[in-house]
Structure 1
Amino acid sequence: MIIDVHAHWGPWFFTMDVAAASLATMDRYGIGKAIVSATEAVIYDAPAGNRALAGVLDGQDRLYGYVTVNPRRLGEAARDLRELTGPWVGVKIHTDYTGSPVTSPRLRAALELAAEAGLPALVHTWGASVLDLAQVCLDVPGLRVVAGHMGADGHRHAIEAANACDRLYLEPCWSHAPAGRIAEVVAAVPDRQLLFGTDATLIDPSSAFGAVAAAGLTGETAERVAWRNAVELFGI
C-alpha cells in the first residue's frame, strides 16, 4: 500500500500533461489512496473549490480531502470546517498563494482552527520557513502539521524542525531531486515523522518515486513512509 499525502484535484492555470487527476494515474504508480486538495481552492476560491471537491469525494473510497483554508478569510474557513463532513481528513494551507507567511498572525489563527477541528494541516514550506512552522506547532496545543516539500531546498532546516517538534511531519515532494536529500533526512529524523507525497497533479508522481527509491529505504522505515504513518496521522 502507498498513500500519497500531497496531491491535488482539478486543472491548473497553465497547461499540464498530468492536469486531470485520475485513479488511472494512481494505478500506474501503485498508489492505493491519496489525500487531495482542490486546485481551485488553493489558488483562487477556497469555499468554491472545497465544495467542488466534495462532489468528487462522494461515493468512492480511494480519495480523501483536505479542507483548503485561506488565512485571510478565516470566517469562511471556520464555516467550511463546520460544514464539510465525510472523507475530509486534513487542512491545506498554501502560504504563498494566500500571501500568509508562517510567521503571520493570520496563519497562526488558521492553524488554531485546524487544531480545534482535530485535523492535521499540510502547510507549504520553503527554505527556513519550516523552522517557523515548528515553533507555531510547539505554541499551539494539539496542533499537528505536515511540512509540505519538507522545506524544498531547506531540507536541513526541516531536520532541525522535526527534531524540535514531534508533532511536525515531513513530506518530501519537490520539483528538484538533489542527490542524497531524502536519505539525509531519513537518517536524522524519527521515522514516525516521515510521509510520502508526490504533488500530483502539479508534478508527475515519477519524480517523487525516483527520489524516494534513491534513498534505499527498507524494512519498517519503508513501510512507515509508504503508508503506516499516514494511516495513523490522518485516521485513514
Structure 2
Amino acid sequence: MRFNHSAALWQTFPELRAGALHATGIDADVDVEAAITSFGAIAEARLAGAKEGEFPEIQAWRRGFSRMGLKPTQYRSASEALLRRFRQEHALPRLHPLVDLCNAVSLAFAIPIAVFDVEKIAGDLEVRPATGDETYLTFGGDIEHPEPNEVIFADGAARAHARRWTNRQSGLSAVRQTTRSVLIVAEALHASAEADVGRLVATLGDQLARAWPAAPKAALLSAASPRFEF
C-alpha cells in the first residue's frame, strides 16, 4: 500500500511537512496511562501560558483552513479541537489505547494525528482535493459526499476517510477493538514543522514499540519525498 499527498496539495501548501507510521500487532490489552499522563502534563504546562489559539502550530492550521475557504473557528483542526477540550476539562475520554496515546502525543506537540485501520482502506490512500463523488461514512452511520475541492483522505474505492483535511475522520476506518494494523499520519504547516514532525514521529514510534510487539515502519514526507510505502 502507499500513502501520499497529491501534487496539487504540495503546490498549494509547500510548507506542509508530514510523518507517517505503519504499525501491526495492535491490540487493546495494553496500559499506556503513564505515557498519556506524561504527554498531558506537557500540554497542561503549555496551556498555562497561552490558549491553544495562540500556538504557532494552531495558527498555521487556521491560516490553512482559511486558504481552503473554511472558517477556521467553525472547522478546527483535530489538534486544536483536542487542546480546546483538554484546556476546558483537563482530560480526554478514553477510546482505545492506541487512539488515546496518539491523542496525548497530539496534545503535547499541538499537531494533528490521524489513525486509520488499514484493513478498511481500499488500495492506496491519498490526501487530495475531492471531486464531490466520493462517499464518506459518519460515526453516526450516515453517508455524505465531500464538497468539490474539499481536501480529503481518499482511497482507491473513492471513499473519503477524512473530510476537511485534519478536521473530521470517517467512522469507516476508525480504530476499534478488532483493529490490528494501522496507518498513523501527522501533518503540520508551521515554520518549524519539519523538525517538530520529526520529533513527533520519533517519539510516537518509540511509544508504539514499547506498547506493542512489532516496531513500526516510519517516514517523513515532503514535496521532495512525498510517498510512504508499507
- What is the TM-score of this pair, normalised by structure 2? 0.28
Question: TM-score normalised to the size of structure 1?
Answer: 0.27
Structure with greater proportional strand content: 2
Higher relative contact order (CA 8 A, sep 6+): 2
